[in-house]
Amino acid sequence: MSDSLAGLDEQQREAASALRGPVCVLAGAGSGKTRVITHRIAHGVETGAYSPSRVMAVTFTAKAAGEMRGRLRALGVGGVAARTFHAAALAQLNYFWPQLAGDAAPTILGSKVRLLAQAADTIGVDPDPAVLRDVATRIEWRKITMRSIERYALDRPEPVGSLSLDAVVALQRAYEQLKDERRQLDFEDVLLACAGMLEAEPRVAAEVREQYRHFTVDEFQDVSPVQHRLLELWLGERRDLCVVGDASQTIYSFAGADPSYLLDFGVRHPDARVLRLERNYRSEAGVVAVANSLMRGRPGALELTANRATPDHPRPTIRAFADDSAEADGVAEAVADQIARGIDPRDVAVLYRVNAQSAPLLAALARRGIAAAVLGGKRFFDIPEVRQAVMALRGASVAPSSGDLVADVRSILRSLGLTDEPPPAGGPLRDAWEARAALLRLAEEAPAGTTMRAFTDELQVRAKDQHEIPTRTVTLSTLHAAKGLEWDHVHLVGLAEGLLPIAYATTFEQIDEERRLTYVGVTRAARTLTMSWARASGRYERQVSRFVREIGTSTLDEVRGRSTPPRRSTPGRSASGSAPSPAR
Burial code (b: 16+ CB inside 10 Å, e: under 16) for 329-344 equals bbbbbbbbebbeeebb
Write out the chain's pLDDT in tens, 584 residues. Answer: 568 888 899 999 999 999 987 999 999 999 999 999 999 999 999 999 999 999 999 998 888 888 899 899 989 998 999 999 999 999 999 999 999 988 889 999 988 999 999 999 999 988 888 889 888 988 999 999 999 999 988 888 877 888 888 999 999 999 999 999 999 999 999 999 999 999 999 999 999 999 999 999 999 999 999 999 999 999 998 889 999 999 999 999 888 889 999 999 999 999 999 999 999 999 999 999 999 999 998 888 999 999 988 888 889 999 999 999 899 999 999 999 999 999 999 999 999 998 888 888 988 998 898 988 888 766 778 788 888 888 889 888 877 777 889 899 999 998 888 888 887 766 677 778 888 888 888 888 888 888 888 888 888 887 876 666 777 889 999 999 999 899 999 999 999 999 999 988 889 999 999 999 999 999 999 999 999 999 988 778 999 999 999 998 788 888 764 544 444 443 333 333 333 334 43
Annotated binding site for ATP: 27-34
Q: What is the DSSP string of 260-294?
A: HHHHTHHHHSTT-EEEEE-EEEEEEHHHHHHHHHH
Determine the Cα–Cα distance for residues 42 and 52; give it in Å rounded to an integer. 9
Q: Which CATH superfamily is domain 286-377+473-560 in?
A: P-loop containing nucleotide triphosphate hydrolases (3.40.50.300)
Annotated binding site: 27-34
Determine the Cα–Cα distance for residues 242 and 23; give it in Å rounded to an integer. 5
Give the CA count within 13 Å in the CB-facing half-sphere of 484. Answer: 18
With residues binned 3-state (H G I as helix, E B as strand, rest as coil), the percentages for the chain, rounded to 5, are 50, 15, 35
Give the CA count within 13 Å in the CB-facing half-sphere of 304. Answer: 31
Closest by Cα among 173, 182, 170 to 125? 170
Q: What is the DSSP string of 126-137?
A: ---HHHHHHHHH
Determine the Cα–Cα distance for residues 391 and 408; give it in Å rounded to an integer. 14
Q: Are the CB atoms for 300 and 260 separated by under 8 Å?
A: no
Q: Which CATH superfamily is domain 3-89+192-277 in?
A: P-loop containing nucleotide triphosphate hydrolases (3.40.50.300)
Q: CA-CA distances (angstroms) from residue 45 to 36, 163, 214, 364?
A: 14, 55, 11, 52
Q: Are the CB atoms for 143 and 89 separated by under 8 Å?
A: no
Q: Are the CB atoms for 31 and 280 separated by under 8 Å?
A: yes
Count of beta carbons in the 10 Å neighbourhood of residue 415: 10
Determine the Cα–Cα distance for residues 544 and 530; give it in Å rounded to an integer. 15
Q: Are the CB atoms for 426 and 363 separated by under 8 Å?
A: yes
